[in-house]
Structure 1
Amino acid sequence: MTETTPQQGRKILIVTAHPEPRSLNAALAAFAVEELRAAGHEVRVSDLYAMKWKAAVDADDYPDHPADERLRVMDASERATLAGRLSPDIVAEQEKLRWSDAVILQFPMWWFSAPAILKGWIDRVFTAGFGYGPNVPPPYGEGPLAGRRALVSVTIGARESAFSDRGIHGRLTDVLHPLQHGLFWFTGIAPLEPFAVYGSNDLPEERFAAAKREYRRRLDGLFTDEPVPFRSLVGGDYGRDMRLLPGVEEPGTSGLDLHVRPRG
């Protein structure tokens, strides 16, 4: 990684989700920590399995919620967030996000999504009043976490061709859309193109070495590579009904690609 001066150092939160500390995911997370710190950045790690993170949202997340009152999660989380009365583990993770300039999610793809423990981190940490809602800036570009960047680093057992445009699993871009667009961009975080290690169930040493070389390059560009150019909600491309206006897209564009501005 290119050397930086202390003045150039940034703050990066790495969130990892794998139950085995000797796993490929753990090795990639450790590699990222080493590379980023060597470049002069500050790094914090949330190892969700090591933390024994509670994945399920429930009333315990909001200590002041009356036991005899129906739990309306959005309303309860917003009241607790604005009052500073969330459970301590949620508060700690929100503080890490506020502290960070960039977030890296490191996880294995399980059933075309992130492991449940990581989804639970998202569900519990991105509360109303923190990640979304009427008391924070509008979503999709100007959200409350705007100014930050995000990188998904995912290991995948399948071959890369299966996640291509004609691959049976669908494009990786589409599979990760809920994270890239629905979590990061929704809250204002600018996501980079994902980094993926395919064929991860049996990765020989030479392929692991190649993966690290590519990952080093991606980490080096964490603050300089162009993010995915998702359209802003308030940029004039969408109507009041939050639908893309006719004719804004290039001819032939369809599906999720409608929400990405043409590059160049």
Structure 2
Amino acid sequence: MKVLLVYAHPEPRSLNGSLKDFSVERLESAGHVVQVSDLYAMKWKASLDANDSIERSDNARFDPSADSKHAFESGLQSEDIAREQQKLLWADAVILQFPLWWFSMPAILKGWVERVFAYGFAYGVGEHSDTRWGDRYGDGTLAGKRAMLLVTAGGWESHYGSRGINGPIDDILFPIHHGILYYPGFDVLPPFVIYRTSRMDETRYADTCEALANRLDSLWTTTPIRFRPQNAGAYEIPALTLRADIAPEQSGFAAHIG
């Protein structure tokens, strides 16, 4: 299988750097082919702007969606964007690895998403009508591929529990799982989260690597999160709200998991 690991940490000698190297070695030793997009090492440009198109008038008003669509459809995207899109199309599975900074991914990784997930590539795809609202949330360009988050967090696991002060980790990661990965079609696996990273000693590191190895070994057999597909009947279209008889006792993020 082919795996793309998109990695966002500025220090190669960090825990994240070590886990990235471990993941690549583990996957390759199992016979998989791995590409790594090391965003800091690549000096990835995080901001989506008019320079993402290689041909446009300097005097034209910049419209992020319209310009993204035109550049994608016309083959006018900057080379770095097109290269990352080809990696996504090549991969059978994608791992996004990052430290949890201020309850989300680092800005450089968010910028990778904003620029690479272009209009016509990851969104704005498919028929929009009274019966189908585009190819997304279970459909889309990246359907059939798997995705997993590998996340490190400084807080204790209890801080991210169901009654923890930071909020449940599944809620914190929902916008990434559902809105970034499931939206364009990925089958999204449960995340691999490492807590209390400042308290990592040799014994705990060995245990962490063993657990991570098991997750990597089961990348193709782990059951994905059961998000509800948009176009399979659970949602009223075009309102895109759950039917009244679907999980009537639930609201918020949990209602969208079947």
TM-score by length of 1: 0.93
Query: Which residues in structure 2 correspond to 1:166-185 (within 5 Å)?
Result: 166-185=163-182
Q: Which residue of 2 is the match for residue 196 of structure 1?
A: 193
Equivalent in the alignment of 2:88: 97
**In the alignment, is residue 68 of structure 1 matched against residue 59 of structure 2?**
yes
1:31-50 matches, within 5 Å, as 31-50=22-41
Does residue 220 of the first structure (1) align with residue 211 of the second (2)? no
CA distance in 1, matches of 2:63, 2:179: 21
Q: Which amino acid aligns with 1:132?
A: Y
Structure 1 unmatched runs, 5+: 1-9
| Partner SS state of residue 78, structure 1 | helix
Q: Partner residue of 1:57?
A: 48
Check 1:232–1:37 CA distance in 2 against 1; reply closer, same or farther (3 A cut).
same
Which amino acid letter does the alignment assign opposite residue 236 of structure 2? G
Instruction: Output the CA distance in 2 between the equivalents of 1:129 and 1:236.
Output: 24
Is 1:79 equivalent to 2:70 in the alignment? yes
2: CA distance between counterparts of 1:180 and 1:233? Answer: 15
Identity %: 47
Cα distance per residue 1:170-228 (max 9 Å; x no partner): 11111011110001100000110000010012311111111111101111111111000
Distance in 2 (CA, whole Å) between partners of 1:238 and 1:160 is 34
**Residue of structure 1 in register with 2:131 after alignment:** none
* Pick aligned residue for 2:242 from 241, 244, 262: 244
Matches within 5 A, 1:3-42: 10-42=1-33
Which residue pairs with 1:141 in the alignment?
138
Cα root mean square deviation, aligned:
1.1
Query: What is the Cα deviation at residue 64 of structure 1?
Result: 1.6
